[in-house]
Amino acid sequence: MLNSTEVVMSTLSSILAKRLSAFNPCRCSIAFLVLVFSSLAAAPLVLAQATPPAQQQSDQAAPDSGGPSADSGAIALPKKKDVPADAPPPAPAERKIKNPEGMPTYSLRVEVPEVTVDVGVVLEKTHQFVPGLKPSNFRVYEDGVEQKVSGFKRVEAPITALLMCEFAARSYTFIYDMRNAAFAFANQLRPQDYVALMTFDMRPTIVTDFTQDKRQFEEAISSLRIPMMSDTNLFDALNEGLDRLERVEGHKYIVLIASGRDTFSKLTLDKILKRVKASQDITIYTVSTGGAMRAVTEGRGGMRGEMRDLEYLQADNQMKTFASMTGGASYFPRFSAEMPDIFGEINQNIRSKYELVYTPLNTKQDGTWRKLRVELVDDEGRPLTIQDEKHKPLKYDVIARDGYKARQEVE
């Protein structure tokens, strides 16, 4: 049977023979082109038909890297990698723990609090710091229970302090004492110290914010010349100072230079004492003003004189309480010549302390007040005795906070 290609070729040959019989030179070239075109069109068909089946099967041979066999179709299958015999088994899948249905996810954080207590040991008569004490010389009691001291070191570092000065139009004697005390404090500063100056009468005023520039601080003190108001709201000013210092990290100090009298504060004495008691890492030192005038006018009698004497006694008691509650000290000079020595002692007490660290046995974070007591003992556990060069006993004071407020669990 003739295939389609042979039929086409025979048909073209018969047509060409008929046309050649009637030879025409003009048509000869056209016939030749027709013949060439027909031969070219038929060539691919002939080639396609001439491809043997064995050639097509050889194209589907499996590649060297692994592939399909003759009966696996046209999808290449990669070879599996060889696994060494000593390979460790795969790690087990991590077990997922699901909460019971309806129960949300909770996180638990356990903190072990540490309490740091700064302790100053000074001689009662000279207010000199007592060096050379060892960790075994200190006993710390919290709510009457002895605690184990885990950290101990002597601290002498730069200070961060707020100088609070009463600046009111009462008597020039008070202003004179205040300025002398403020300059005596400034003379004790070191380049690394941060200090700020606040004055108060009816309201507190920040004269200069925290700075290490001693000259700027002294210029701020020099600007205090003529006060405007005669009233002194000491409690409100002290509360403002505590608020500002609590935003500063680390241990801070307030040096309060004032008469100690309060006139129209919004806070009562009980409220400001609670506020001082709850303060954290703040120690208050107080220096009274007007001592010379009080020495001259005390005991003159009369209703007015007796009331004034009672007011100053109350003021002295308030200044002492502010200092003792925070582990500071209070001073009541009568002459300006005492100021350098007083601030020399304050400077030494601030910079030279023993730092004790312990983990409280009462681990509850309930926000309760914990009462602290620090005692000095010798190597045999008896009360420590300090003697001078002539072996005479010297009285000393242990200056430390009387307590702290435990952290609330929700904080």
How confident is the model over 347-390, as pLDDT tens digits? 888 888 899 999 999 988 888 899 999 999 999 999 999 988 88
What is the rounded CA–CA span in Å between residue 258 and residue 161? 16
Q: What is the pLDDT of residue 15?
A: 55
> What stretch of H or E contains 78?
none
Report the pLDDT averaged over residues 180-204: 93
Structure tokens at 49: 């038909």
Structure tokens at 283: 């120690």
Q: What is the pLDDT of residue 211?
A: 93
Report the pLDDT averaged over residues 234-249: 92
More confident residue, 32 or 256: 256
All CATH 2.60.40 domain ranges in the chain, comma separated = 111-156+352-411
Most confident of 3-7, 35-39, 131-135: 131-135
Give the three-class secondary structure for 397: strand
- 193 with 285: CB under 8 angstroms? no
What is the rounded CA–CA span in Å between residue 302 and residue 115? 51
What is the rounded CA–CA span in Å between residue 292 and residue 335? 6
Report the pLDDT averaged over residues 190-206: 93
Whole-prediction pTM: 0.59
Residues 6+ apart with CB under 8 A from 287: 181, 255, 256, 257, 330, 331, 333, 339, 342, 343
- The CATH fold assigned to 111-156+352-411 is Immunoglobulin-like (2.60.40)
Q: For the chain, what is the mean pLDDT?
A: 79
Angle subtended by helix axes 172-187 and 339-351, to nearest 10? 40
All CATH 3.40.50.410 domain ranges in the chain, comma separated = 158-351
CATH class of 158-351: alpha beta
DSSP output for 184-246 = HHHHT--TT-EEEEEEESSSEEEEEEEES-HHHHHHHHHT----------HHHHHHHHHHHHH
DSSP output for 309-360 = HHHHHHHHHHHHHHHHHTT--EE--SSGGGHHHHHHHHHHHHHSEEEEEE--
What is the distance between the terminal CA atoms of the chain, rounded to a whole angstrom? 102
- pLDDT above 80 for 255: yes
